[in-house]
Structures are given as C-alpha cells and as structure tokens.
C-alpha cells in the first residue's frame, strides 16, 4: 500500500502534464465539431436534396466506424498517403473533431427542428432573407438550447481522447501506462488516471451547465 502511494505521489506531476494535452485535444475537437457541425445542421434542415444526402452519408460514416479504426485510417492511411506529417496530438484532435461534426450536427439539427416553423415565415414577412433569418433568429436560439447536448458530447469526446494513446500522444493514459509499466503499480496509477478523467469531465460539464443557466431566458422554451 505504501509503495502504491509513493508511486502515485511521484508520478502525479508527470501524469497531470498529460492532462494539458488531453484538454488541448478535447477543446480542438469540440471547436472543429462546432465550426463544421452547425453549418452541416443548417444544410440538413434547409439545404437541397443533394446537400442533405451528402450530410447523411457523412454522419452515417463517422457514427458507424469505431474511433480506433478512424485513428488508424487517418494517421497511418490517409495522412500518410497525402504525405501530411501531422503530430499525434493534432491527428487526435482532428479525427475526434471530424467525428464530432457528425454528432454535433445532429444536436444542432434537433435544436433547429424543435423551433416553431412560423419564425422563419415571420422573418420573411418582415423582409429578411432566409440567410439573415437563420443567422440572427434561428441559430442564436439553437446554440442556447443545444448546450445540454453539447455537455454530453464533451464528456464523450473526453473519454474517447484516451484512445489517442495508440498514436503515441502524450496524454493522461499514455503517461500513466509509461509509469505503470516501470513501477508495476498498475491499480493505483490507473485508478489515479480514472480520477483525473472524472474530475475533467465534472469540471467541463459543470461549466457548461453554469453557461446554460446564465443564458437561460425565463419563460422561454424551444
């Protein structure tokens, strides 16, 4: 027991440095998912048949293929074929982000479809174009009501970021495995890693819940 506590104490600063890498991967993936998922959701609701079909194929592919397979497919396959020398951290954030686009687009699409359809018609009657109505009326409401779904997506991406271990990214799990393979204190060290993941999950979800309450409009519901 004492040896385990000593191993955890000595390794904790090293493992916590990996948490910075994990947070960078997660934030990068979430921002990619937001930047591309929102336009994809708009295209799925208001786009042409071709746009809706292409978006559906994208969502089907990235939601149907395991994360581990996506990592290998992009890191050792596509990026290698294109001679792109991307680091394991960038690759992990990019792949998780592209996968997040598929999930976040469905979160935002549900938020759009939950709004009363009369809002767009009312905007047209006031002389607004569809583009301006979507940008200034529809999307602000969707972003507000989609925060709970975004919090759930954050926790999923955070846990999936551990799979970046197979690419050699120096994140939490990779550093924990490195220390455990040399000290043989596997239980204590992996338990410590689990606690760190739990704390990161709680902190991120808590911040998003606080943001949700701050943006809440009394008497408003989608």
Q: What does the pLDDT look like over 123-167, one tens digit per residue?
A: 888 888 888 888 888 888 888 888 999 999 999 999 999 999 999
Which residues, in sequence order, are CB contacts of 115 under 8 Å at separation 6+? Answer: 138, 141, 142, 222
Q: For the chain, how many residues are written?
A: 222
pLDDT at 81: 87
Q: Per-residue pLDDT averaged across 82-97, rounded?
A: 92
Q: How far apart are CA 87 and CA 69, in angstroms?
A: 18
**pTM for the model:** 0.91
**Structure token pair of residue 212:** 């949700």
For 34, residues 6+ apart whose C-beta sits below 8 A from its C-beta are 104
Q: Which pLDDT tens digit goes with each residue over 11-70?
A: 889 999 999 999 999 999 999 999 999 999 999 999 899 999 999 999 999 999 999 999
151: Cβ contacts below 8 Å, ≥ 6 apart: 204, 205, 208, 209, 212
Per the prediction, the chain carries an average pLDDT of 90
């Amino acid at each position: 027991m004492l040896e385990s506590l000593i191993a955890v104490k000595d390794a904790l600063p090293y493992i916590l440095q990996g948490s910075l890498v994990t947070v960078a991967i997660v934030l990068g993936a979430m921002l990619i998912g937001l930047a591309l998922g929102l336009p994809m959701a708009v295209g799925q609701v208001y786009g042409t048949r071709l746009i809706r079909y292409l978006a559906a194929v994208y969502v089907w592919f990235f939601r149907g293929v395991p994360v581990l397979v996506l990592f290998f497919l992009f890191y050792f396959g596509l990026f290698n074929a294109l001679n792109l020398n991307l680091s394991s951290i960038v690759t992990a954030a990019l792949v998780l982000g592209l996968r997040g686009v598929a999930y976040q687009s469905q979160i935002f699409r549900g938020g759009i479809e939950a709004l009363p359809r009369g809002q767009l018609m009312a905007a047209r009657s006031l002389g607004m174009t569809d583009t301006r109505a979507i940008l200034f009326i529809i999307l602000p409401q969707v972003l507000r009501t989609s925060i709970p779904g975004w919090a759930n997506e954050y926790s999923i991406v955070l846990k999936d970021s551990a799979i970046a271990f197979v690419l050699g990214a120096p994140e939490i799990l990779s550093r924990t495995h490195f220390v455990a393979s040399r000290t043989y204190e596997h239980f204590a060290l992996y338990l410590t890693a689990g606690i760190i993941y739990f704390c990161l999950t709680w902190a991120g979800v808590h911040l998003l819940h606080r943001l949700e309450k701050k943006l809440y409009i009394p008497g408003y519901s989608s």
